[in-house]
Structure 1
Amino acid sequence: EYLGIKKIKKGRPTQDILSEMLPSMVSSLSFPKMMRWGSSSFRFSRPIKNILCIFNEKPLSFSVAGVTSGNSTCGHKLHSPKKIKVKTFSEYKEALKKMKVVVNQEERRRMILSQIERKLASLNAECYPDEELLERLSYDVEYPYVFLGSFPEDYLDLPIEVLSTAMREGQRLFSVVKNKKQLPFFLGVADGYGDVKLLIQKGNERVLKARLEDARFFWAQDRKTGLKDRTKDLRRIVFQEKLGSYEDKTQRLKKIVAYLADKIDAQKVKKQVVQGAEFSKVDLLTDMVREFPSLQGKMGGLYAREEGHSAPVWKAVYEHYQPVSLENESPSSLTGSILSISDKLDSIVGAVGIGIRVTGSKDPLGLRRNAQGICKVILDKKLDFPFSRLLDKVIDVYGSKIREPEIQVKNYCLEFFSGRLRYIYEKQGYRYDLINAAISAGIDNIYHSFLRVKALDSLKDSPNFEPLILIFKRVNNILRSQLPCRVNSGLFVEKDERELYTTFCIIQDNVLPLIKKGDFSQAQKIIFRIRTSINNFFDNVLVMADEKRIRRNRLALLQAINKLLIQVADYSQIVIEGQNSSK
């Protein structure tokens, strides 16, 4: 017997529910830096001065931190601070724009770009690209006003990297360039609608001149000591407490880049990339990098160029921190690519080797960024080499500094890189099951994993694709939990099993060379030819024969076929419409 109860809960007005919910929702918002003000214990990113809340064109009333919400707001704090009342969001946007506040960030961005274009038209110049600064400024100002300033031409003897960084990091200014050469001008973005007395422009010019004077001093002083002479002082800078100094890291990098150069047939630049590795961290000791940390790597490369080192050497140093994100460019040089991969992998293996793991949103050492950088360089440069062996080399170079079991370190790294590759391929728009099929086949060669997913994507609409996937899934299901066996061609009894074996041998001889060179598209097209033979085999041959030798031999044939297929892709991961996902 059961007892039931029917309870009717009447609906309540939405505005009443929202008035109860919103205070706790506002209070639950968290920021990296929180503050208190007045005598209240309430914490927020900044003091709350006003709360505008409207529902159905009427004010919604609630209180947070002693401030009661209403239907009024105010314009720009300096240029139009008076209060106004609004009823709708569109009315809110229009009213604020008249009061020098542009609500939409994308509109502020467009205003900045439009004004920059107008300011530079007379100079026939362009703005030095800096998407990060543009993004930040479009959020920092409420009503952007772009101003053009200048600085003395004698500072143009400084590298453009130094000039643009001094402008960006100190004052959030854009460099002005023409034909990739710095001009003695800069662009700034102020919050307002004009600078009639040129106070903003002149103030920025005065501050920038002082910063450029400092930068010129650093540029001259740093070059008084050669890079080679500085290397011995790297022992004073700790890379990681358990992993040693930057001198230790430099010595490891020299071995890793030499190994990788051999593996990608880059022996012609092996000597130069080893020298680049030796100089890669030296600029951490310079005054310029102490003042502008974002220039590390670049300054080392520039100082190496000033000393007369060859392009492969100084470019290796200059580019080895690239890319800092998937949107950033990979190194342009082969030596830069080799050193970039080696440096990032050294950091990842070292961290994993002392027990550091990436969990959820926590990644204090930027291991995800480093792994994605490695993958991006390999894919952009089409570097074909055994990645798992490079991992072995890095683990070996660390020696006793690795505290975790080596096999655990390697397996974690491979799984970690698999996750990063999935993320990259998903961003590129590939189907998740095709990604799983490509990566489950192994990432011993990262570039080959991309060629696999690309081949699967190009052939997924072929009429042969789905029928063959179903066959391969059937093979996989039959072989589940079966012990490995070896094929004995003398034990074949039926015509169809002999035909399948003959077809398989021909296909294998043609496919293995294609797999080796990464031509997975052509390899799959050849594998499609097995379809008729394997269908006949399943239709006319009893795989699980009563006689043990015959049964094991037929299973061995299917195992051999499956072993070949898994080198192309793990087809069991592919989802056919109407079937459950195997993800």
Structure 2
Amino acid sequence: MTHPNLLVELFVEELPPKALKKLGQAFGEVLLTQLRAQGLADAASLLTSYASPRRLAAHVTHVAPRAADKPVSQKLMPVSVGLDAAGNATPALVKKLAALGADASAAASLKRAQDGKAEALFYESVLPGATLADGLQKALLEAIAKLPIPKVMSYQLESGCELPGWTSVSFVRPAHGLVALHGGEVVPVQALGLVSGRETHGHRFEAAADPVVLKNADSYALQLEEEGAVIAGFEARRAEIARQLALAAEQVGGGAEPIQDDALLDEVTALVERPNVLVCGFEAEFLEVPQECLILTMKANQKYFPLLDAKGRLTNRFLVVSNIRPQDASAVTGGNERVVRPRLADAKFFFDQDRRKTLASRVPQLAKVVYHNKLGTQGERVERVRAIATAIAAEMGGADLIAQADQAALLAKTDLVTDMVGEFPELQGVMGRYYALHDGLPAPVADAIEDHYKPRFAGDELPRGPVGLAVALADKLETLVGMFGIGNLPTGDRDPFALRRHALGVVRMLIERDLPLRLSALVGIAAKAMGPLLTQADAQGQLLDFVYDRLAGLLREQGASAQEVDAVLGPRPERLAEVPKRLAAVRAFAQLPEAPALAAANKRIGNILKKSPEADAHVTTALLREPAELALYEAMRKIVPDADAKFDAGDYTASLQALAALRAPVDAFFDGVMVNAEEADLRLNRLGLLDSLHRAMNRVALLERLAG
């Protein structure tokens, strides 16, 4: 049997744009989940969510007017308690039946069933299915309660409200209408001081009818578009804006394209109900300002889409997404052009003013900027970063690199005290590069001033050159060691100093740029620069654990299995640049037929050695008596040096594959040799042989972690 579809809409005042998409999805999903839980919707029921600046709505297909009745079997009590020797109901059973609305005669029809060791009485009845009115009422209240509302507001209900006794309501925005249609019939429900009906409202100014009287649940989107001048669906409205943006850019010509920004597109989609893209412009003289400044002010302050030319350079044209479609749009375009002009003029003023002072002259101002109450000022921090950066540069290159890294580290934070970055903090680093080039500094230094913040987020690009890498590593390590050193560790979802991001940045730079740097040495360099500021015991050890944990998570995200990650990171490789090669070697080794047996043997050896702390990797050949231990020793003499040579050459795959030849002698050893011999010298010699084998097998990775 096919049931009608359901439409529920909350008509409200303008919703917060950055939360609208999630609000629309959550409203529909919770509504559907609750309807399914009550048997009013089934697995075949489909959800379509709608969200516009002034409405949240959900359309659910195949919704029953009433849920099916459910048979219920309720355990009452053990038979020995409910029935006497003659099989008649005891007073306890009669009382229990009365509580369920049944009389004593129902005792004869009770079902007996085994319940554990005893037999129990069960009362079987039929639970009537929920009506749509009752079920939707519950589902609607649940959907409202579970909305991910960023900030709740309270407001008074309008006078004449149909729900007497209500005085105020708490919701994301004041609600003014509620629609609930099952097919063409109104479902009587109440929420937020409103009673359901079939009337809603369209565009504030351009609706052809007000109110819009909905015919049925399925006509919602079409009627709103035709009569209300509103595109109700978030994704449909977003797609229409994207289409109009592309069309407007094409009409401008010259290969122009609107800037790609999904977050901006989502926000604008949440601001308009009837999108209309218009082309506007500004004076070309403003293009003398770095385009990042102009783009940021247009996007962040005005929600405009700047137009870029075919080479990715900013043009003096931009696109506005209007919420109205007048016949003559000149007033709209003119108004937006007048609004943006002061913003661009401010940016030009800041840029011109900032260039009157060199970055070097701003260094003393950093001593007045507090970085952290336990770690001092930005000026003090700069000196620490300089020390770390020059030490890293010394490991990476010669005197020129050291000098440029020192200069870049000295100036990297100076743009924080410029007017432009004061107005637009997002431009820190970017403006530093422009000002450094204006001051005549070398390009590698200027690039490093911008790049020392990179990578700023997952997937962000890395610093361009060695100077930027040295300063970026220094900046992140100073933050990590400093915060761990004062006990300011991230907890749960709280990470105010972005320590997880900094750790991943260090990991990515070391690996993706194949840097010949040791992780513990880098942490030690930073700790030395921090000096007596570090008050927490074992801060360096905690930080190393933290970095390896971040690396493990990154490898798993990239597709490595938990076993592979545990095996590779088990030996704590100091050069993180080696990790991808070690991971590839472990994967290749795991495909060999000898791998499972060797991994299991390795695990067995590890367990034996844990119980024998007196063992060391020393073997006396005269004490090798059994043929199997002699054979293993000889095999190791031939195979291990070859595996070690390949390991030292960085060919980890070949090193592990060479060790695969040890499978047969290892198996024979465990089959034919008693390790824990009664004679102490024999036992220690055999443990020494196993210790030598264990060390040789675990240089690339802890193979025992691959054992099932």
TM-score normalised over the length of structure 1: 0.89
Partner of residue 306, structure 2: 175
> Cα deviation per residue 1:315-338 (whole Å; 9 max; x = unaligned)?
000111122211322222222222
Return the structure number with greater helix share: 1
Matches within 5 A, 1:23-62: 23-38=141-156, 42-51=169-178, 62=189
Deviation at 1:283, TM superposition (A): 0.5
Partner of residue 571, structure 2: 441
Q: Quick one: distance in 2 between partners of 1:9 and 1:445?
A: 70
2:288 equivalent to 1:160: no
Q: Quick one: distance in 2 between partners of 1:549 and 1:6?
A: 73
Q: Quick one: distance in 2 between partners of 1:54 and 1:514?
A: 74
> Cα deviation per residue 1:242-266 (whole Å; 9 max; x = unaligned)?
1110001100110111122233346
Question: 3-state SS of the aligned residue for 2:612?
Answer: coil
| 1:175 partner amino acid | P
Partner of residue 573, structure 1: 705
Partner of residue 13, structure 1: 129
Partner of residue 483, structure 1: 613
- Of the structure 1 ranges 203-212 and 91-100, higher mean CA displacement relative to structure 2 is found in 91-100
User: Relative to 1, partners in 2 of residues 1:404 and 1:44: Cα closer, same or farther, differing over 3 Å?
Assistant: farther
- Of the structure 1 ranges 445-454 and 79-88, higher mean CA displacement relative to structure 2 is found in 79-88
- Of the structure 1 ranges 36-45 and 176-185, higher mean CA displacement relative to structure 2 is found in 36-45
Deviation at 1:556, TM superposition (A): 2.4
Q: Quick one: distance in 2 between partners of 1:426 and 1:195?
A: 56
- Aligned identity (percent) is 28
Q: Quick one: distance in 2 between partners of 1:249 and 1:236?
A: 12
Is the Cα contact below 8 Å between 2:615 and 2:688 reproduced in 1? Answer: yes
> Cα deviation per residue 1:498-525 (whole Å; 9 max; x = unaligned)?
3323433444433445445654323322
Matches within 5 A, 1:36-115: 36-38=154-156, 42-51=169-178, 62-68=189-195, 73-80=200-207, 82-85=211-214, 92-93=220-221, 95-96=223-224, 98=226, 99-102=228-231, 105-115=234-244
The partner residue of 2:507 within 372, 375, 396 is: 375
Return the structure number with greater strand share: 2
Deviation at 1:488, TM superposition (A): 1.8
Question: 3-state SS of the aligned residue for 1:208?
Answer: helix
User: Relative to 1, partners in 2 of residues 1:72 and 1:485: Cα closer, same or farther, differing over 3 Å?
Assistant: farther
User: Relative to 1, partners in 2 of residues 1:399 and 1:86: Cα closer, same or farther, differing over 3 Å?
Assistant: farther
Q: Quick one: distance in 1 between partners of 2:579 and 2:187?
A: 55
Deviation at 1:152, TM superposition (A): 0.5
User: Relative to 1, partners in 2 of residues 1:465 and 1:307: Cα closer, same or farther, differing over 3 Å?
Assistant: same
User: Relative to 1, partners in 2 of residues 1:514 and 1:234: Cα closer, same or farther, differing over 3 Å?
Assistant: farther
Q: Quick one: distance in 1 between partners of 2:647 and 2:437?
A: 42
User: Relative to 1, partners in 2 of residues 1:426 and 1:41: Cα closer, same or farther, differing over 3 Å?
Assistant: farther
User: Relative to 1, partners in 2 of residues 1:191 and 1:561: Cα closer, same or farther, differing over 3 Å?
Assistant: farther
Is the Cα contact below 8 Å between 1:388 and 1:445 reproduced in 2? Answer: no
Question: 3-state SS of the aligned residue for 1:36?
Answer: strand
Deviation at 1:241, TM superposition (A): 1.1
2:359 equivalent to 1:243: no
Deviation at 1:484, TM superposition (A): 4.8
User: Relative to 1, partners in 2 of residues 1:159 and 1:324: Cα closer, same or farther, differing over 3 Å?
Assistant: same
| 2:565 partner amino acid | I
| 1:153 partner amino acid | A
Q: Quick one: distance in 1 between partners of 2:707 and 2:230?
A: 51
User: Relative to 1, partners in 2 of residues 1:483 and 1:417: Cα closer, same or farther, differing over 3 Å?
Assistant: same
Q: Quick one: distance in 1 between partners of 2:347 and 2:510?
A: 35
Matches within 5 A, 1:157-556: 157-178=288-309, 179-191=311-323, 196-265=328-397, 268-405=400-537, 407=538, 409-486=539-616, 487-490=618-621, 491-516=623-648, 518-556=650-688
Q: Quick one: distance in 2 between partners of 1:471 and 1:92?
A: 68
Deviation at 1:238, TM superposition (A): 0.6
Question: 3-state SS of the aligned residue for 1:6?
Answer: strand
Q: Quick one: distance in 1 between partners of 2:612 and 2:204?
A: 75
Partner of residue 109, structure 2: none
Question: 3-state SS of the aligned residue for 1:175?
Answer: strand
Matches within 5 A, 1:125-136: 125-136=256-267
Question: 3-state SS of the aligned residue for 2:512?
Answer: helix
Is the Cα contact below 8 Å between 2:305 and 2:320 reproduced in 1? Answer: yes
Q: Quick one: distance in 1 between partners of 2:459 and 2:138?
A: 43
User: Relative to 1, partners in 2 of residues 1:304 and 1:18: Cα closer, same or farther, differing over 3 Å?
Assistant: same
User: Relative to 1, partners in 2 of residues 1:188 and 1:422: Cα closer, same or farther, differing over 3 Å?
Assistant: farther
Deviation at 1:344, TM superposition (A): 1.8
User: Relative to 1, partners in 2 of residues 1:182 and 1:440: Cα closer, same or farther, differing over 3 Å?
Assistant: same
Structure number with larger C-alpha Rg: 2
| 1:292 partner amino acid | F
Structure 2: stretches of 5+ with no match in the other structure:
1-116, 158-166
Is the Cα contact below 8 Å between 1:276 and 1:316 reproduced in 2? Answer: yes
Question: 3-state SS of the aligned residue for 2:371?
Answer: strand
User: Relative to 1, partners in 2 of residues 1:516 and 1:202: Cα closer, same or farther, differing over 3 Å?
Assistant: farther
Is the Cα contact below 8 Å between 1:384 and 1:448 reproduced in 2? Answer: no
Partner of residue 282, structure 2: 151
| 1:48 partner amino acid | A
| 1:44 partner amino acid | F
- Of the structure 1 ranges 8-17 and 555-564, higher mean CA displacement relative to structure 2 is found in 8-17
Deviation at 1:72, TM superposition (A): 5.9
User: Relative to 1, partners in 2 of residues 1:299 and 1:553: Cα closer, same or farther, differing over 3 Å?
Assistant: same
- Of the structure 1 ranges 246-255 and 47-56, higher mean CA displacement relative to structure 2 is found in 47-56
Q: How many residues align?
A: 573
| 1:332 partner amino acid | R
| 2:419 partner amino acid | D
Question: 3-state SS of the aligned residue for 1:364?
Answer: coil
Q: Quick one: distance in 1 between partners of 2:327 and 2:459?
A: 35
Deviation at 1:110, TM superposition (A): 3.6
> Cα deviation per residue 1:446-505 (whole Å; 9 max; x = unaligned)?
333333334334554443433433332333333343315222232322233233234334
Is the Cα contact below 8 Å between 2:619 and 2:686 reproduced in 1? Answer: no
Q: Quick one: distance in 2 between partners of 1:438 and 1:231?
A: 44
User: Relative to 1, partners in 2 of residues 1:514 and 1:32: Cα closer, same or farther, differing over 3 Å?
Assistant: farther
| 1:133 partner amino acid | L
TM-score normalised over the length of structure 2: 0.74
| 1:154 partner amino acid | E
User: Relative to 1, partners in 2 of residues 1:82 and 1:17: Cα closer, same or farther, differing over 3 Å?
Assistant: closer
- Of the structure 1 ranges 7-16 and 250-259, higher mean CA displacement relative to structure 2 is found in 7-16
Deviation at 1:280, TM superposition (A): 0.6
Question: 3-state SS of the aligned residue for 2:457?
Answer: coil
2:248 equivalent to 1:119: yes
Is the Cα contact below 8 Å between 2:510 and 2:517 reproduced in 1? Answer: no
Is the Cα contact below 8 Å between 1:149 and 1:201 reproduced in 2? Answer: yes
Question: 3-state SS of the aligned residue for 1:203?
Answer: helix
Deviation at 1:292, TM superposition (A): 0.7
User: Relative to 1, partners in 2 of residues 1:396 and 1:314: Cα closer, same or farther, differing over 3 Å?
Assistant: same
Q: Quick one: distance in 2 between partners of 1:194 and 1:238?
A: 52
| 2:145 partner amino acid | S
Structure 1: stretches of 5+ with no match in the other structure:
577-583
| 2:578 partner amino acid | H
Is the Cα contact below 8 Å between 1:19 and 1:60 reproduced in 2? Answer: no
Root mean square deviation, CA, Å: 3.0
Deviation at 1:73, TM superposition (A): 4.9
- Of the structure 1 ranges 310-319 and 30-39, higher mean CA displacement relative to structure 2 is found in 30-39
Q: Quick one: distance in 1 between partners of 2:520 and 2:196?
A: 60
